[in-house]
Every structure is written in C-alpha cells, then in structure tokens.
Structure 1
Amino acid sequence: MARRCFFTGKGPMVGNNVSHANNKNKKRALPNLRSIRIKLEDGTSVKIKVAASALRTMKKKS
C-alpha cells in the first residue's frame, strides 16, 4: 500500500540535503502515518493509514 494519508492525501516529499560545500544529495521525507481501525455503520471495521496531524485534528474536532 502507498505511503499516503487516507484523509489528507499527504505523501512523500522530495528535496535535497545541501552540505556546507554545496553538495546536493536527494532525500525523501516520509509522512508520519499511523494505522487506525475505523468501525463502519454495518459493524465491520477497516484499517486505514492516517497522518498523525490528521489524527490530532480529528481528536480536536470530536
């Protein structure tokens, strides 16, 4: 499964590590994903990947 948040769509970001000598190396910044289990109306549960920032927002709003 892709490293992508189910709600916000956050995914990996790319950039450069830049040294003091201005050498550039590619780097990937992965999102802080957590697996959570959500209960649906029919009683079944589904596991989804959610970013930690989205979890904080969901807790704040509920």
Structure 2
Amino acid sequence: MSKECAFCGKKPQVGNLVSHSNIKTKRRFNPNLQRVRHQDADGTVRTLDVCTRCLRSGVVRKPVVRTNG
C-alpha cells in the first residue's frame, strides 16, 4: 500500500519524537489513508488509497451499489 493520497498527494512527514527527558528521535507522521472504491467520470471503478480529508470534502465519487430484488 503506497503512503500517498491518490488525489491530493499527501505523503508522510518527518518530525521528532520528544521524550519526557527531552531526548529527540526521528519519527514519521503518516497520513490517514483509506482504501476506497472510486468511480471515474467515464464510469470505470477503481480502488484507490485516499486520505480522510479528500473523503470528507467530497473529492471521491463512490459508485452506486445495486442489489438484486
């Protein structure tokens, strides 16, 4: 699973983990990515890794789920 949003390109950032004694070690801030199904403008459905901000803002268009009955 790639650590990059398919729409906005959000990637992991690097920062410091600071302990109680103020010792600093490197750490990564990973984006909150979810694997969702997205329907393109031409109707094709793909599974993409998308950050939660793009999901919430409505950038992702989910396909219609049809049931038999």
TM-score tier, shorter chain, comes to 0.7 to 0.9
Aligned position for 1:48: 48
The offset of 1:23, in angstroms, is: 1.1
Distance 1:38 1:23 in 2: 43
Q: Is the 8 A contact 2:38 2:45 kept in 1?
A: yes
Give the aligned residue type for 2:39: K
Superposed counterparts of 1:1-62, under 5 Å? 1-40=1-40, 41=42, 43-58=43-58
Gaps of 5+ in 2: 60-69
> Deviations for 1:17-40, whole angstroms, at most 9, x for unmatched residues?
122432111111100001111123
Report which of the two has the higher share of helix: 1
TM-score normalized with structure 1 length: 0.78
Identity across the alignment (%): 43
Alignment RMSD (CA, Å): 1.6
TM-score normalized with structure 2 length: 0.71
Gaps of 5+ in 1: none
Give the aligned residue type for 2:5: C
Report which of the two has the higher share of strand: 1
The structure that has the greater radius of gyration is: 2
User: Runs of 4+ in structure 1 displaced over 2 angstroms?
Assistant: 19-22
